[in-house]
């Protein structure tokens, strides 16, 4: 969820639930429908306790959480069979949705996955960016178990958690008729993000299950950082590989506080490489996003602004990098937050869209230089590796060569 503060104010800085938020705002002038910015959603939903999934509706507990500390994480994809035979043999169909990103596995029950199949799923997600499943009956507790297999789970500092006790590691996505998107408060490009990249160890193989959704609308789009890197000239690739950028949680936390909601852990800022290397695939990916990346360090501000603006527009505008998924109830997506960004369409109002996210923590992002120094391996361009596997000649432009230019009178 990308950070854009809103102008709502409350006299109570420690509101812990939606009901309390409503009470705090009861004496304010109101409209029949509240307008909200979907990139920062305080989730003021209509009263409907007869709703089938009311126990998973959002709450904002007033608790204090300790700062996150660094932990050792080993990606399960390291243990996978590269052929993914165990996983693919269990599927009725394997559908690659675009050349760059996105695969759907048909006929697999996520509740029945063996550890070997989970390892192969982690590798598939690392390679394809996002993997989709439909008609999944796994409970949120089973979803949490799968998430924990991939790594220690992240607890979000400000976004809502379910009402049911014991689910602090679940992030609730909830919008209903009470929240009408207000396009005056945001631009679509601002909504593209990778989850909580401001953490020292941002997420890895993340899952989302939609439990209630509209018949149409409410899609999610993902954009491949691998494909973005591969699209650049060798000179631009080399330039970006030497840069770092600042990622910040401050605006997101400020937005929640402006709505009178409690922030459970103080916001942090972290510096990450602009190009990171996936620890399993060894492929290079652009690692910035409009939601949380503030600036490139060590260069003049106009240069930082220009480079980030270019990269942000490539993320949002270049459809060759994208896959778009229409959710149905019980659809599940696993995506690798280290190599993709994503955004949702907010075209479904006044219908309800309700989903539950589980977010394993990953390793500290590693630059090309650090990866190559640690492993003794050469970090790779995904597209070039695919061309090599297919026996396709590498274009001259990808070899760092260019034609002489000039007048030819």
The residues assigned a catalytic role are 193, 195, 342, 357
| Chain mean position to CA 104 | 18
3-state secondary structure of 327: coil
| Structural element, H or E, at residue 312 | helix 301-317
CA–CA distance, 52 with 1 (Å, rounded to integer): 25
User: Which backbone phi and psi does 14 adopt, to 5 degrees?
Assistant: -130, 45
Using alpha carbons only, give the angle 253, 34, 17 rounded to the nearest 5 degrees: 50
Contact at 8 Å (CB) between 308 and 401? no
Which is nearest to 203 in space by CA: 343, 361, 71, 365?
A: 361
Euclidean distance between CA atoms 324 and 110, whole angstroms: 22
Q: Quote the strand ranges of 308-407, DSSP E.
A: 322-325, 331-336, 340-344, 353-358
Report the 3 state secondary structure along 213-237.
CCCCCCCEEEEEHHHHHHHCCHHHH
Q: How far apart are CA 333 and CA 357, in angstroms?
A: 10
What Rg, from alpha-carbon coordinates, does the chain have?
A: 22
Q: Could you give the C-alpha distances from 232 to 113, 227, 292, in angstroms and in order?
A: 38, 9, 22
CB neighbour class for 125 (10 Å; exposed up to 12, middle 13-18, buried from 19): buried
Q: Which two tokens stand for residue 223?
A: 């954009």
Question: Under a CB-based contact definition with an 8 Å cutoff, are residues 353 and 173 in contact?
Answer: yes
Strand-pairing partners, residue 158, are none
Closest C-alpha among 173, 156, 179, 157 to residue 22: 179
* 132 contact partners, CB below 8 Å, separation of at least 6: 97, 102, 103, 104, 105, 325, 331, 332, 333
Query: How many other CB atoms are there within 10 angstroms of residue 202's CB atom?
Result: 26
In terms of C-beta density within 10 A (0-12 exposed, 13-18 middle, 19 or more buried), how is residue 325 classed? buried
3's enclosing H/E stretch is none
């Amino acid at each position: 969820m990308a950070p854009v503060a809103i102008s709502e104010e409350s006299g109570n800085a420690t509101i812990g639930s939606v009901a309390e938020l409503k009470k705090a705002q009861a004496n304010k002038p109101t409209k029949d429908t509240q307008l909200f910015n979907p990139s920062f959603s305080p989730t003021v939903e209509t009263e409907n306790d007869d709703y089938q999934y009311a126990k998973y509706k959002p709450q904002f507990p007033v608790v204090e959480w300790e700062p996150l500390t660094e932990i050792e994480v080993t990606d399960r994809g390291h243990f996978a069979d590269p052929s993914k035979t165990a996983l693919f043999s269990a599927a009725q169909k394997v559908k690659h949705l675009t050349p760059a990103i996105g695969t759907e596995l048909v006929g697999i029950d996520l509740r029945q996955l063996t550890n070997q199949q989970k390892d192969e799923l982690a590798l598939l997600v690392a390679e394809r960016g996002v993997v989709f499943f439909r008609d999944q009956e796994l409970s949120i507790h089973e979803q949490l178990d799968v998430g924990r297999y991939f790594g220690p789970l992240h607890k979000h500092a400000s976004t809502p958690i379910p009402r049911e006790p014991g689910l602090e590691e679940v992030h609730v996505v909830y919008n209903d008729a009470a929240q009408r998107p207000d396009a005056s408060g945001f631009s679509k490009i601002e909504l593209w993000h990778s989850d909580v990249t401001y953490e020292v160890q941002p997420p890895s193989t993340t899952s989302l299950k939609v439990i209630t959704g509209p018949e149409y609308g409410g899609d999610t789009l993902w954009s491949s950082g691998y494909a973005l890197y591969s699209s650049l000239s060798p000179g631009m690739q080399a330039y970006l590989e030497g840069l770092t950028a600042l990622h910040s949680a401050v605006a997101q936390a400020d937005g929640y506080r402006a709505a009178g909601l409690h922030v459970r852990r103080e916001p942090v800022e972290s510096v990450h490489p602009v190009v990171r290397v996936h620890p399993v695939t060894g492929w290079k990916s652009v690692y910035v996003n409009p939601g949380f990346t503030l600036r490139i360090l060590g260069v003049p501000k106009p240069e930082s602004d220009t480079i980030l603006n270019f990269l942000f527009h490539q993320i949002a505008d270049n459809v060759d990098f994208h896959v778009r998924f229409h959710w149905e109830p019980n659809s599940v997506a696993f995506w690798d937050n280290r190599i993709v960004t994503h955004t949702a369409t907010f075209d479904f109002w006044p219908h309800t869209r309700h989903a539950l996210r589980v977010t394993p923590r990953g390793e500290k992002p590693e630059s090309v230089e650090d990866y190559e120094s640690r492993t003794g391996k050469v970090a790779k361009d995904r597209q070039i590796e695919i061309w090599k596997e297919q026996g396709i000649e590498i274009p001259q432009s990808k070899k760092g060569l260019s034609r002489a230019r000039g007048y030819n009178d």
